[in-house]
Structure 1
Amino acid sequence: MIKNIQKLILFLIIIAVSLLGGCKKEDSTKEPERGGVDVELEQLKLPEKGEEIAVMETNYGSIKIRLFPNVASKAVENFTTHARNGYYNGLTFHRVIDGFMIQGGDPNGNGTGGESIWSKPFEDEFDINYHNFRGALSMANAGPNTNGSQFFIVQNRTVEESLIEQMTQIGEKGGFSETVIKAYTELGGTPHLDFRHTVFGQVFEGMDIVDKIAAVETDGNGKPVELVIIEKVEIVNY
């Protein structure tokens, strides 16, 4: 009788350990909300404690963005100064294309307006290690060195195989290392915008809100039928 009880206890212990092992494995493979892949890219890391981030409150929810002043100092200064001055409060995402990006920051609300904090366009700031992955915050422009106040957040979930092949051919010297290509493959993004639009931030929380905004009904020009409003942008410590 005692031996049977001991066998039963041993059996239950083995089952419990197996279940715990299974739970642990499931947790370790769960991806964070920011949708990032497990790659060694500074752009996709979470902010460090005390680091300045941007919190963009919209009528669809909150989007939290890590900023990159070390690689795009002017773009970040322009964005954070505008934010602190309330420049973006009440503006809209005037151009929304599902599977591509959401664009805002224009006081005119149609893509024709807005200016930098210096009241003139400022130059592009490209870094070979920073790319237009899904969730990237980048400067909108009308050509080289024409940055003002407008920006966009990359929403595209996938990258076409032809673009993957092109990046592979260009290679690391052109800014497309194996790690970068892996990130584009697993995360998505718009590699054809690299080194054309300054990347100065990365969404690390709230991509579900970006997706909701991207999915709104729009007219033939990509303008939302119902306003998507940037209620305010706050610069806070993480």
Structure 2
Amino acid sequence: MKNSKKIISVLLAVMMAAASAFSMAGCSGDNNETTSTDESAQTTTESATNEDGATEEATYDPADLDEVAEVVGKSYKEDTEHDYGYQLEMPEVGETIAIIHTSMGDISLRLFPENAPNTVNNFIELAKAGKYDNTIFHRVIDDFMIQGGDFENGDGTGGSTYNDEILEDEFCDKLLNLRGAVAMANSGRDTNGSQFFINQAGPENIDWDALQKQWEYMYEGLSMYHAQGVADYFAGMYGSYCYNPESVPEEVKELYNQYGGNPTLDGAYNAVDRGHTVFAQVFEGMDVVDAIAAVETDSETNKPYDDVIVTSVEITTYQG
């Protein structure tokens, strides 16, 4: 393929730069607004060496993100009934809630069946069947998240849906991976099972400038692949890095700046339909989440040295 050498070499550079930007986004304490540049709106031109050894210029127009969305099958719900941040409101009396009883205390969750109906139903059915009883939080990373729900293997490699069927992602523009949001763990698009995690990151790590820089690098790579007709391949390989801050409303940025969380996990604002379905929000017990996040863990596996046990998940109604 005439441009294969160019694509590989340029993509490697793009990936290295994106990894650097992603690292900055996760470690920086700055809280800045997104700064757009003209770089992502310019045609990308790179030098390449063809099969005869001659140097040539390969030009790629910036990818039309609507076209890319159609190619990769991007899908999310636009909720017109609720305001941004509604997930932070207390549940109403009589509303169905979940209480995660753990060896370190209780964590109470408000559920969102109106925007993630299949995911909420899956969680409720697993809880009622006792699948979460005596499981552990097998992956704990302070200032990021705590993850559990693998009732089969207890190490992140197992945990099916309640009916063993495929559970598709249910992204929504109004449900965000804010601090305290509960989302589905997955290994790629539409690979949800029983595992879930609770976002625990604070606002000090939100850096919109770094996220913008990461997106500009990824947009370049996406444009090259889209020009070759293989944007779906790019999405499969690097989709988790394709969070697009330019598509994020200011109200969403303000929520992250105030409350913290992990914005790059929001599927609704990912250019190639990658992310994690938010289906619940902690409304009581974040002190327990923080305590779990602070336990000592194995540096390689992020598994707590001393098991943090989910004794049961209770499905009940909120009494006020």
* TM-score (structure 2 length as normaliser): 0.59
Does the CA contact (< 8 Å) of 1:163 and 1:191 recur in 2?
no
Matches within 5 A, 1:13-162: 41-107=85-151, 108-158=153-203, 159-162=205-208
**One-letter amino acid of the counterpart of residue 294, structure 2:** A
Deviations 1:57-78 (A, max 9, x none): 0000000000000100111000
2: CA distance between counterparts of 1:131 and 1:218? 27
2: CA distance between counterparts of 1:61 and 1:50? 23
Does the CA contact (< 8 Å) of 1:99 and 1:156 recur in 2?
yes
> Paired residue for 1:21?
none
Deviations 1:176-216 (A, max 9, x none): 22221111001000001110000000001100000000000
2: CA distance between counterparts of 1:165 and 1:104? 27
2: CA distance between counterparts of 1:178 and 1:216? 35
Q: How many residues align?
A: 196
Matched, 1:189 2:268: no
Cα offset, 1:53, TM superposition: 0.5
**One-letter amino acid of the counterpart of residue 162, structure 2:** I
Counterparts in 2 of 1:42 and 1:163: CA distance versus 1, 3 Å: farther
DSSP 3-state at the match of 1:234:
strand
> Paired residue for 2:272?
none
**One-letter amino acid of the counterpart of residue 302, structure 2:** G
> Paired residue for 1:215?
294
Matched, 1:170 2:249: no
Query: Is there any run of 5+ residues in structure 2 with no aligned partner, and where?
Result: 1-82, 216-243, 268-274
* TM-score (structure 1 length as normaliser): 0.79
Cα offset, 1:86, TM superposition: 0.7
Does the CA contact (< 8 Å) of 2:206 and 2:260 recur in 1?
no
**One-letter amino acid of the counterpart of residue 230, structure 1:** V
Dislocated runs of 4+, deviation >4 Å: none
Does the CA contact (< 8 Å) of 1:164 and 1:181 recur in 2?
no
> Paired residue for 2:34?
none
Counterparts in 2 of 1:163 and 1:234: CA distance versus 1, 3 Å: farther
Q: Which has the larger radius of gyration?
A: 1
**One-letter amino acid of the counterpart of residue 189, structure 2:** P
DSSP 3-state at the match of 2:107:
strand
> Paired residue for 1:10?
none
Cα RMSD after superposing both structures: 1.7
Counterparts in 2 of 1:164 and 1:67: CA distance versus 1, 3 Å: farther
1: CA distance between counterparts of 2:98 and 2:197? 14
Does the CA contact (< 8 Å) of 1:157 and 1:188 recur in 2?
yes
Does the CA contact (< 8 Å) of 2:140 and 2:303 recur in 1?
yes
Deviations 1:150-198 (A, max 9, x none): 000000012332368639x834xx3x22221111001000001110000
Matched, 1:226 2:270: no
DSSP 3-state at the match of 1:66:
strand
